Amino acid sequence: MKLQSLEEQRAALDASEVSSVELVELALTRAEGTGTDLGAIVGLRAEAALAAAAGSDARRRAGEIRSPLEGAPVVLKDNMVQKGEPTTCASRILESFVSPYDGAMAEKLEAAGAIILGRANMDEFAMGSTTENSIFGPARNPWDTSRTTGGSSGGSAVAVSAGITGFALGSDTGGSIRQPASFCGVVGMKPSYGRVSRWGLVAFASSLDQIGPFTHSAREAAWVLEAIAGHDARDSTSLPEPAPALESALTGDVKGLRIGLPREYFVDEGADPGVVEAVRGAVSELESAGAKVVEVALPHTPYVVSTYYLVATAEASSNLARFDGVRYGRRAENVQDLDEMYKRSRSEGFGREVKRRILLGTYVLSAGYFDAYYRKAQQVRTLVRGDFDRAFEACDVIIGPTYPEVAFPIGARMDDPVSLYLGDIYTVSANLAGLPGISVPCGQHQGMPVGMQVLGRPLDEATLLRVADAFQRRTDHHEHRPPGSA
Amino acid sequence: MSEEERMSDNPLDRYEPVIGLEVHTHLKTESKLFSPAPVRYGGAPNHDVHPIDLGMPGVLPVLNEKVIGLAIRLGLATHSTVNTRSVFARKNYFYPDLPKGYQISQYEEPVVSNGWIEVEVPVKGSGKKRGAETVTKRIGVTRAHLEEDAGKSIHDVALSGSEGTHIDLNRAGVPLLEIVSEPDLRSAAEASAYLRALRSILRYIEVSDADMEKGQFRCDANVSLRPWGRSQFGTRTEIKNLNSFANVEGAIEAEIVRQSEILDDGGEIQQATMGFDVERRKTRVLRLKENADDYRYFDDPDLIPLMIDEELIEAIRADLPELPEQKRERFEQEYGLAGETTAILVASRRLADFFEHCARACNAPKAAANWIARDLRQELNERNLEVDETRLEPDALASLIRLVEEGRLTTKNARELLPELVEEGGDPQAMMEERGLEAVSDTGMIDEWVTAVISGNAAAVESVRGGDDKPLNFLMGQVMKAAGGKAAPGEVRKRLMEMIRGDG
């Protein structure tokens, strides 16, 4: 029994071929086996999940099906809190933290009938693009376990790619859903900023963070987004719009759709030619389905990575100040005074990359540097938004590579953070401009999956999903499973 | 500087103080600025908290909309601009009673800016005594911004029950307005008068209870000195956490002395944060400016700008109560009251309302004003009560005043009834009758007492007859004594004059 995708699971549940309890048992077995081998799963709540599954089965027998997610297991990136459950953010400083309250995702998934199986590995506090910066050790790519999964939501990407759960949630601050989706050969979507509540998401960079789904298909992503989107009064940046109807938008029709190819994304010194070739092939596929291709300009592309790292680290330096050893989390022992308590608790509690970003962020907000760095970055951010506003006058979606290359070997970039940062060039703009973006598997290079990124207008998730779904109806990249899958 | 000047003990002879105040006032809300936790005083430590107040991972702030109306009221009452757009910012610093590692405040774009209030300040040289001559001075309000309070660090073993520092986060997140004045104040007495006027306004418009003892109204004072006649400001210091009117005045006076001593010796004032040692009546440097925290302010990305409709501002303007200054002018014109009495009455909206009710009921506004501003106020001060916290109804006081005005009760006896009325309430007329205190105005009885006094005090009578009124009070006293204090004083006086001088 494969039952790896959400769609397969839903069909089997609807046909009474399997129960939710059986699906959860299967997922637990896979999580403990493959999930542990691949470093994808960092915590399971077997008893609670089985009880919830029994409840789902009872509902189904009574004719109540809450959503397409009813009875299906899911894992959350380990930065989304659930009452009574640990949330570690893969950090020593939160190693022993148990949340006293429910985050919005725990509530939304429960309301949709989904079964939260456990927590997925990540880069510490979502800082990284390899899922190597984790106290649990690195996650491994199911397509080649010597390679990284991408990150920071690597555990969630692996959970879906390796068939442990049919869907998973991640968070995306600068590409942390789309890039690991691309590396692991699954669909990963970052919704428009404000579409999904951040209540209960441990903040990395508040103005950029957004939660989204990992699935195999765009259709499944639509189901998940319908369940988790919508206004939440507890998040002041949550958009007032209700959750959109998305599945009905998946018509398979892209006739007359204008695809924008940014000339800055297809320059010679840009992405790996093998990646570009796969993406161009996908664009041709959409063209043959009736879409039109236009060239667009995103002239501020050379500045997006530095802008992103100024804004994200500044916000992070403030967001992570609460981890001080005073009220919860790790507190250093045998300290002489308050100053030492702060310094040692934080020095012992945070890993290298987190410390690097706190230092950077503190610096860019400091008196004398604020105007040159943080304020300037906010100005460039406005210019980046302007680039997209103008581009979307000429096109309906923008397509390019999700990442300049395929998954690289674990450990290869650990000593070169700047090269890792530069790899975020295609993904960070969507966060800076608040746009929705999706990464869809579109081929392979060197035996590893390649992701195509589709960006859309703010709040236009429907068009993104329509394009991704139309592509998947005509191709089978999303049906390829890695050799290491369950 | 000449020898004479150096010898002068009073620094104010040489320097003009320049003072600006920053007031933190708790807003009157049911819940906190960004969380649903209740705002209460005296609750068990760390009980009035929500995960938001604790800075739990993943929590987000949501603005308590109640504060918007309160900020608008303060803005309008201080003739300020209410900004239709203001922005919340993070002030970053580490302290154990600051759960998030930053305080949410407003920085570059505050909700209220550029206003003023009018303050009755003592005329220079008239001293600080009550009854000193005052003049109206306009004090600029630079800005007022919304922010959250921090928790409390308790270092006192007696309070916490054990060694070490304890944290109580009940106060963390309580909504505050920080109201910053222009450096328009020129003495400790002016600073104190400004604070009292501001507190009175805050209470009138029901924005804050502004109870200093509860820490709801706290003050930092910026103080600098400059030689008289110089327009440029001197270097200022900031005295933190002044929690009573006496300490504000004491700290400013002490800081003026400290700075003047440095300047007298040819030294320079260093920009610094100061503390006030209440016991020793001295200010001391807590930290110098070069060691000051860099707060790394930036707009809080968890909150959206606070947008305020002009319509809402106008609706609140229409609903604003009469303010102390307006009430003062009206009382003086409408009731012909003296400035000093009016100042006492309007300082508290509750006292002013009590007065107006009472004045209407007894139809003797001046008498009512005097009774309330002197006798009643003394009773209230002794008991540390507000007027509406007593059993005394304004109608009852009106009835007491009427009895006095009608000559049925002597002022002395009326005063003796007042404490009981304050504590237990009651009907003054019934009390008077029950206790047989009604003044005797039976002319037969009075004539008997008067005749007896005239015959027993020939010398005094002779002086009065000769045109000297002075001994009259003595004779009045003698009659009242004979009457056991119950003779109607007006009638006694009239009969005395008639019998001695044969006139009326």
What pLDDT digit, counting tens, does each position of A102-116 carry?
A: 999 999 999 999 999
Shortest distance between the Cα of A318 and any Cα of chain B, in A, equals 7
Give me A212's structure tokens: 């989204």
pTM of the predicted model as reported, rounded to 2 decimal places: 0.90
Q: Which is higher by pLDDT, A174 or B499?
A: A174
User: Going by C-beta distance under 8 Å and a sequence separation of 6 or more, which residues neighbour residue B267?
Assistant: none
The one-letter code for the residue type at B148 is E
Cα distance between residue A402 and residue A451, in whole Å: 6
pLDDT at B2 over 70: no
pLDDT of residue A286: 98
pLDDT at A462 over 90: yes
| Residue A43: other Cβ atoms inside 10 A | 18
Asked if the Cβ–Cβ distance from B57 to A342 is below 8 Å, we say no
pLDDT of residue A150: 98
What domains are defined for chain A? 6-251 (3.90.1300.10)
Asked if the Cβ–Cβ distance from A236 to B303 is below 8 Å, we say yes
Which has the closest alpha carbon to A116: A147, A145, A146, A156? A156
pLDDT at B1 over 50: no
What pLDDT digit, counting tens, does each position of A327-352 carry?
A: 999 999 999 999 999 999 999 999 99
Domain boundaries, given as residue ranges, for chain B = 3-294+301-307, 321-434, 443-501
Residue A152 a catalytic site member? yes
pLDDT bucket at A242, cuts 50 / 70 / 90:
confident
Q: Searching chain A, which residue's CA lies closest to the CA of residue B90?
A: A318
User: Going by C-beta distance under 8 Å and a sequence separation of 6 or more, which residues neighbour residue A457?
Assistant: A392, A396, A435, A463
| Assigned fold of B443-501 | Arc Repressor Mutant, subunit A (1.10.10)
Q: Chain-wide mean pLDDT for chain A?
A: 96
User: Going by C-beta distance under 8 Å and a sequence separation of 6 or more, which residues neighbour residue A277?
Assistant: A443, A445
Which has the closest alpha carbon to A346: A331, A335, A359? A331
Q: Which is higher by pLDDT, B469 or B103?
A: B103
Mean pLDDT calculated for residue range A277-301: 98
Mean pLDDT calculated for residue range B193-208: 95
pLDDT bucket at B410, cuts 50 / 70 / 90:
confident
Shortest distance between the Cα of A272 and any Cα of chain B, in A, equals 35
Of chain A, the percentage scoring pLDDT greater than 90 comes to 95
The answer, for B235 touching chain A at a CB cutoff of 8 Å, is no
Nearest to B304 among A100, A237, A326 (CB): A237
pLDDT of residue B499: 85
Cα distance between residue A336 and residue A27, in whole Å: 48
Which has the closest alpha carbon to A31: A80, A1, A75, A65? A75
Asked if the Cβ–Cβ distance from A99 to B90 is below 8 Å, we say no
CB pairs A-B closer than 8 Å: 100
pLDDT of residue B504: 47
What pLDDT digit, counting tens, does each position of B330-361 carry?
A: 999 999 998 889 989 998 899 999 999 999 99
Mean pLDDT calculated for residue range A194-206: 98
The answer, for B92 touching chain A at a CB cutoff of 8 Å, is yes
What pLDDT digit, counting tens, does each position of B431-456 carry?
A: 998 888 888 777 788 888 888 888 88
Shortest distance between the Cα of B290 and any Cα of chain A, in A, equals 12
Residue A292 a catalytic site member? no
What is the ipTM, given to two decimal places?
0.96
Contact B86, B106 (CB under 8 A): yes
What pLDDT digit, counting tens, does each position of B47-76 carry?
A: 999 999 999 999 999 999 999 999 999 999
For residue A265, give the 3-state DSSP assignment.
helix
The answer, for B347 touching chain A at a CB cutoff of 8 Å, is no
Task: Give rounded-to-5 percent helix, strand, coil for chain B.
Answer: 40, 20, 35
User: Going by C-beta distance under 8 Å and a sequence separation of 6 or more, which residues neighbour residue B433?
Assistant: none
